[in-house]
Structure 1
Amino acid sequence: MKINIKKLLPFLLVVSLTESCKKELEEYNPSGATVESLFKTPEGFESAVNATYTYNRNLYGKEEGYAMLEMGTDIWTNAAFNGSTGINGIFPQTPLTTYQGLISDNLWVNTKMWQPCYSAINLCNTGLKYIDNAGLNAARKPVLEAEMRFMRAWYYYHLVETFGDIHFTLEPTEGMVTTANRTSVETIYKQIFEDVESAVANLPVTTNDYGRITKPAAEAFLAKLYLTRGRNQEASDYAKKVITGYNFKLLTNYADLWNINNQKNAEVLWAVNYSTNLANNAGSNLGHSLFLMEYNTLPGMLRDVANGFPNVRYMPTRSLIQMFDDQNDARYNASFKSVWYANEPDASKRPAGMNVGDTAIFVSKNVISAAERTSKKYKVYDINDVYDANGLPKDRFHFLSLKKFDDPTRGSATETQSSRDAFILRLADMYLVAAEAQFKLGKLDSAAYFVNEVRKRAALPGKQAAMQIAPADVNMDFILDERAREFAGEQMRWYDLKRAGKLVERVKKYNPDAAVNIKDFHILRPIPQAQLDAVTNKSEFKQNQGY
């Protein structure tokens, strides 16, 4: 669904809030003219529904979204250029990755999670209020209502999982609001389930408008919701329905998922779509740059399009690297870049005897002996060069780089924007949701079956037998390891660990940068201070415990 942002600009200006609005809750407050034009004609209503999708671009494919949804976990930590203080919005990513100084003034938590989610929810509430007055035809109306109900549930899910008990309303904000409620997680989830189940009943199975939510994608989300709430049989049932009930399939080769010319493939259930016309994206996908090491300052190398724009923000933990069996699992080489080839045309800037196209840098997950190093012209970094034995990084500039999100179609080496889509739901997730649900139901044979389906696809040629596991191998930590191997970088790790009740445990065990700071209360983020300052019922609307 390639939404034209320029056409929506007047509307988006209405829903955007400025610093001068701090005395109001950060929700969309439509004027009478906006309601008249957007919600009381079929064209306006369609435009409003389209606009609900754009809020996903605040999180998915953005640095802020990776910081909140992927960092501060067991599998990623700070690279060299990831900020220093995290205070007052200067470098908001640092406390999100290490929990050091994570405070209610954290800018990104407010502007990239709280504000956009509530703006989107209020847009949905407004549309659902006026849907009967929009002049929609009988066939189209239930589909648009289903989309708005799904999107309301989608954004409430992000808020409730991030903040716990939160402000909850199904009514549009009309006029100034200065009070807020703290509604229980259970109550909000009841509405989330009601909305998504209603959406499932009315959404089409397929769409010609890529990026729009469909019935199987909504069912996939429902499976994850049930799993999150411990309703494991329902989670398993919906996951299996998505696996067997439609034409989705796992791609034969894991690497094909990340071919930028193959994004609309049979495994993707739902994605945030970014246009090749970068001006239409309201900020494009930056995932291609955030996980790259600083290759361009090493002998024989120049920054170019093929090797990417190295922002050097996030690096894998030692534990993530060690979760991969590179002798059997194709996902290691499909996920990580370990070799850089010389591209410096000036021979005087290359090591003696190195030609353009020769190996210039090699980063290994293994230990490389001194004898082997001396026989090479190129620069070598092994696991012990990058990390101490306890996993603490000692070289934050040079490391295995996630290459899933590479964009070789960028216009130049200095172009930071990318048209790559951000996958939100894909079929492999349903196999591992089913596996987790079956494990929690005590059905280890079935759990192993679903894990093995994913591992069968992940196996290197001739290594399928070596990749298969036995029922006795299945436990929650193995499932989390498997999810790391399959979904590293795909903006779901923080929620995965929280759902499993393993966030604090695994961060302490596997992420030395964050281990010393993380506390039990960090399973929730702080309510933004701007919101606490805005309300008048401060005795009722309080900060989360620990902040």
Structure 2
Amino acid sequence: MKSRITVLALAAATAGLGGCKDLVETPVSGVTGEYFATPEGADAATSGAYARLRDYYGQQQEIYLGWAGTDVWKRGEQLVANGAGCWNDYTPQMSPTGCTNENRDMWQQSYFAINSANTAIQYIGASTALAPALQATRLGEMRFLRALYYHNLVRNYGAVHLTLAPTEGAVVTASRTAPAEIYAQAIIPDLEFAVANLPATQSQRGRATKGAAQTLLAEVYLTRGAPGDFDRARDLTTAVIGSGTYTLNASYRSLFCGPERPTGPCDFVPATETNPEYVFQVQFSGDGVQGRDLYGNSLHWYITMAYDAGLNAPGISRSLEYGRPFRRVSPTRYTIDLWNRATDSRYAATFQTVWRSNNGSSEPGRGGDTAIYLPGTDVVDPIYTTNKRYRTLGQNQYTELHFPTLLKWQDQTKANVAAGPSQRDRHLWRLADVYLLRAEANIRAGRGAEAIADFNVIRRRAAFPGMESANELSAAQADSARGPVATQGLELLLNERARELTGEEQRWYVLARTGKLGERVRRYNPTATGFTEPKHLLRPIPQQQIDATEGNAAAFPQNPGY
């Protein structure tokens, strides 16, 4: 059953909210701030701050800032066609005015969200009408969200403006606070409070929990990397793993897909969203009242190849099951080659490589027959293509238009193939990610041997039945985890994260925090030739912010190189 929660318009900060399952918002106006100090108002204020998560997660903004321009994802044909090639290629168009609006939107929407959280924290904290337990929980949620929004700002821009109080109207004075101070004054204290005050579970799915706060705090420590931080991250992730709240799903594929049908490679099953492997999810709704077309999950659009164009494949037309091909990014050759496909189920569960005929009018009698096949190897011998009634595309023939399609976000429950975004929730972390965060903490602390067991937990789950032992790390791979942190151990970690989390993790931030962004982009992304360090380790401050600040660049300087 869905609960309905009232949301109030927190000035501009919560205007234009979409909807989500369990946390369902209905805008209400004409109320005073003191209303937020009541139980109903506390729910309203908190759900408004949650709504802002959907500005970034599950949107094109996430693709451009979090996925493109990495070792795992290179540009797709429409990235360039839409004038957004700078996000992958690191061209001079990645600038304070930007080749697209996503950089500006990330900045503005983060501060809208922070103001929502600050407003809620002020009034809920001052309330005498709330039961102490509810007050502590709602404050924990808001401080969790405020920490997440500031974490996103710091890892994109470095020093940013820090404010922990609500604001009204235009603000023309601003200054940049160093990341170390933001971590010390805001992010870490907020998350420590959240860990201490949030419950292990919530009655409304989508609200932050103790495990979510512990996981985010571990990620923050791995990003900051101060003395003792890796040990702190290890302890936090160990607490989440040992809590008993979360369990690994028995099957990797069924985390994302229902039973496969001939023309339904990854049917969305809503029951997958309550899986106990998920630690925290951004909620989306599919009903018209909640405005799916405005604030739904859009990820399925951006990683789908043009199966209906340029291949002359027999009996293929666009369908809900195969998705609408918006081609913003495509997998690199590094990504495609990651898995041992004889033992590891994750390649087949991550990418669609077969399209079956779904258009009987163009090819009578061929319904369900293979129309496109991507064998996952180079195709050089004509025997693989001659006299075949389907189109074979080898790895050496992949382009920015044609490539294996990510399965994890497909949604056949939309009204039609051209309909807007999806109702699938966008999970930020699941338990397998927590195992990998602990492995990272141990490797970066020089305890690579302790990471091996965590790698093997998720590798055994990923194995085809009967191949569990064969899919564990080999002796040579295990030895590499014990090697120098800057080489073998981190290489093993980044490879395993990509195998497990391709299409889920925001790879740009992972590479940045491990110090591997430039090295891996240059090695694996063929068109990211404009990348330079240290310039591209941060995004440009949007010019609108500098222009709107009293004193302009003297008061709010730009990041180096821009």
TM-score by length of 1: 0.89
| 1:31-430 alignment, distance < 5 Å | 35-36=32-33, 38-84=35-81, 91=82, 93-100=84-91, 101-106=93-98, 107-131=100-124, 132-133=126-127, 135-190=129-184, 191-230=186-225, 231-259=229-257, 260-261=268-269, 262-280=272-290, 281=292, 282-297=294-309, 298-346=313-361, 349-350=362-363, 355-368=366-379, 369-386=381-398, 395-430=399-434
Match of 1:479 among 476, 487, 493: 493
Alignment partner of 2:77: what SS? coil
Contact 1:365-1:383 within 8 A present in 2 as well: yes
Note if contact 2:155-2:509 (Cα within 8 Å) is conserved in structure 1: yes
Structure 2 gap ranges (5+)? 17-28, 258-267, 482-488
Q: Secondary structure at the match of 1:515?
A: coil
| Shift of residue 436, structure 1, vs aligned partner | 1.1
Deviations 1:181-220 (A, max 9, x none): 1101000011211110111111011112111000111111
Shift of the alpha carbon at 1:116?
1.3
Q: Deviations over 1:452-486 (max 9, x none)?
A: 11111111222222221143132101110111111
Specify the SS of the correspondent of 1:168. coil
Q: Is the 8 A contact 1:77 1:316 kept in 2?
A: yes
Q: Quote how far apart the aligned CAs of 1:361 are.
A: 0.1
Partners of 1:509 and 1:515 within 8 A in 2: no
Q: Which runs of 5+ in 1 are unaligned?
A: 18-31, 85-90, 387-394
Distance 2:297 2:145 in 1: 21
Offset at 1:491? 4.0
Change in Cα spacing, 1:484 to 1:110, as seen in structure 2 (3 Å) is same
- Indicate conservation of the 8 Å contact 2:8/2:44, yes or no: no
Percent identity between the two aligned chains: 37
Deviations 1:109-168, CA, capped at 9 Å, x for gaps: 444311111111112222222221462222211111111111111100000011001101
Hey, what's the Cα distance between the residues in 2 that align with 1:513 and 1:354? 43
Aligned residue number for residue 87 of structure 1: none
- Tell whether 2:505 aligns with 1:494: no
What residue in structure 2 maps to residue 26 of structure 1? none
CA contact (8 A) 2:14 2:49 kept: no
Moved more, 263-272 or 246-255: 246-255
8 Å CA contact 1:317, 1:511 repeated in 2: yes
SS where residue 192 of structure 1 aligns?
A: helix
Q: Which amino acid letter does the alignment assign opposite residue 8 of structure 1?
A: V
| C-alpha displacement of 1:40 | 4.1
Give 2:513's aligned amino acid. Answer: R
Deviation, structure 1 residue 518? 4.3
Q: Is the 8 A contact 2:117 2:145 kept in 1?
A: yes
Q: Aligned pair in 2 of structure 1 residues 186, 213: CA closer, same or farther (>3 Å)?
A: same
Residue pair 1:405, 1:420 contacting (<8 A) in 2 also = yes
Equivalent pair of 1:360/1:379 in contact (CA under 8 Å):
yes
| Structure-2 residue corresponding to 1:452 | 456
Distance verdict in 2 for CA 1:458–1:14, change over 3 Å: closer
Q: Secondary structure at the match of 2:408?
A: coil
Shift, 1:375, TM fit? 4.3
- SS of equivalent to 2:330: strand
Is 1:532 the counterpart of 2:535? The answer is no
User: Where does 1:515-530 land on structure 2 (aligned, <5 Å)?
Assistant: 515-530=529-544
Find the residue that maps to 1:271 and give its secondary structure. Answer: strand
8 Å CA contact 1:63, 1:286 repeated in 2 = yes
1:352-405 alpha-carbon deviations (Å, 9 max, x no partner):
x9711100001132023211221421001101111xxxxxxxx22211111111
- Give 1:310 deviation, angstroms: 1.5
Matched letter for residue 178 of structure 2: S
SS of the equivalent of 2:53 reads helix
TM-score using structure 2 length: 0.87
**Contact 2:57–2:426 under 8 Å retained in 1:** yes
Structure 2 CA distance for partners of 1:518 and 1:460, relative to 1, 3 Å: farther
How many residue pairs get aligned? The number is 514
